[in-house]
Amino acid sequence: MKKFLRILVLNLLFILASDTLGAKTENFKLTKITGGLKSPWSLSFINQNEILITEKSGNIIYFNLETQELKNIRHNLKIKSYGQGGLLDILYHNKKSVFVSYSEHRGNYESSTSIAKGRFNKSKINFKNIFRAEPPISGGYHFGSRLAIKDNYLFASVGERREGKIAQDPTKHPGSIIRIHLNGSIPEDNPKFKGKNNWLSEIYQIGIRNPQGLTLSPFDQKIYMSNHGAKGGDWFGEVKFGENYGWPILGWGGKNYSGTEIGPKWKPGFTKAIQYWVPSIATSAITIYKGEEFKEWNGHALITSLKDRSLRKLIFNDVNEVKEDIIFKDKIGRIRDIQIQPNTSKLFFLSDEGSLWKMESERHK
């Protein structure tokens, strides 16, 4: 009887571990579309078959999935490619506009997370800055730099450039989420004009370390983000008006690289994340899935990882009982970006190793 109970308990523990750590939730196929890219950072679909890709060194690449045409698009950006900086996010919008975020060379050794807008052209795009994070800072860390559009608003994540306490200073941009209009003008209902008098006019939320995931949910129309902690303390959460995620007062469960404590995971008065990861998985890009290819995932968050090279799925409709699955791990390298292909709703990934990948369901084969 004791042996039977022991086997039963072990089986139950195995089932629970599978549920929380990522039982296989879907049969899928991964296909390498192209390689040879150099430190790619972001991709954006023009339409079902045409893609824009950024490389950190400063290249904007046009790629056609049907014809396999691959070409560089010239531009006029002054990029400082150093450390984690360079040409970062790209977002094609409304059949004509291209938005990019990048580390802009601001003279001497200084740079800023900047955003520029241009009119799409396959030969050359002339960009004009619509935002610059102030002050410019030397060093090549924590630019953040994802973009998301909701209605006539552009949201962008601005990393704290490894300056720590600057994320608690709303008179400076680093360590914040900013919100501006698509032409760069300031919304009159931003926090500064609604009681946060000492905040810079572009700032929407503060207390953030290095947020490299940002997306609009097509279900609840909320903006969600992912953020790198230090030694542990990565998280996924909601962008919220006028609030504070607490860095570096809060450590979100992580520690300094030296091993010393940072602060509590959370405490009242600060925004609480939806999901935390300790140890760190190095969260990169995110999307909220909507489509027929993996229709069981509709409304779920897909999180990509650099450190453990995984794709994770979060069911977070009940934030008090978030469920997480590891869809795959160690298949395509460090995953830098994820996007949903228009019309087909298949998933496309960029790996740090220089490849573009497609993921589709085996159900249709």
- pLDDT tens string 302-312: 999 999 999 99
What global pTM score does this model have? 0.92
pLDDT score for 22:
40
CA angle, 336 then 266 then 20, to 5°? 55
pLDDT score for 362:
87
User: Per-residue pLDDT for 135 more than 90?
Assistant: yes
Residue 365: which pLDDT band, with cuts at 50, 70 and 90?
low
Q: What is the mean pLDDT of residues 81-95?
A: 97
Looking at per-residue confidence, does 20 or 32 come out higher? 32
Beta bridge partners of 30: 359
> What region, left, alpha or beta, does residue 31 occupy, with left being phi > 0 and alpha being psi -120 to 50 degrees?
beta
pLDDT tens-digit profile of 241-275?
999 999 999 999 999 999 999 999 999 999 999 99
pLDDT score for 55:
98
Residue 12: which pLDDT band, with cuts at 50, 70 and 90?
very low
Q: What is the mean pLDDT of the chain?
A: 93
Share of residues in the chain with pLDDT > 70 (%): 92
User: Per-residue pLDDT for 71 more than 60?
Assistant: yes
pLDDT score for 13:
43
pLDDT score for 363:
74
pLDDT score for 108:
87
pLDDT tens-digit profile of 215-233?
999 999 999 999 999 999 9
pLDDT tens-digit profile of 275-306?
999 999 999 999 999 999 999 999 999 999 99
Query: Pairing mode, if any, of strands 335-340 and 347-351?
Result: antiparallel
User: Per-residue pLDDT for 26 more than 80?
Assistant: no
Q: What is the mean pLDDT of residues 27-52?
A: 97
Q: What is the mean pLDDT of residues 185-197?
A: 98
Q: Which CATH class is domain 29-364?
A: mainly beta
pLDDT tens-digit profile of 157-179?
999 999 999 999 999 999 999 99
pLDDT score for 8:
47
Nearest to 179 by CA among 143, 215, 214, 204: 204
Residue 364: which pLDDT band, with cuts at 50, 70 and 90?
low
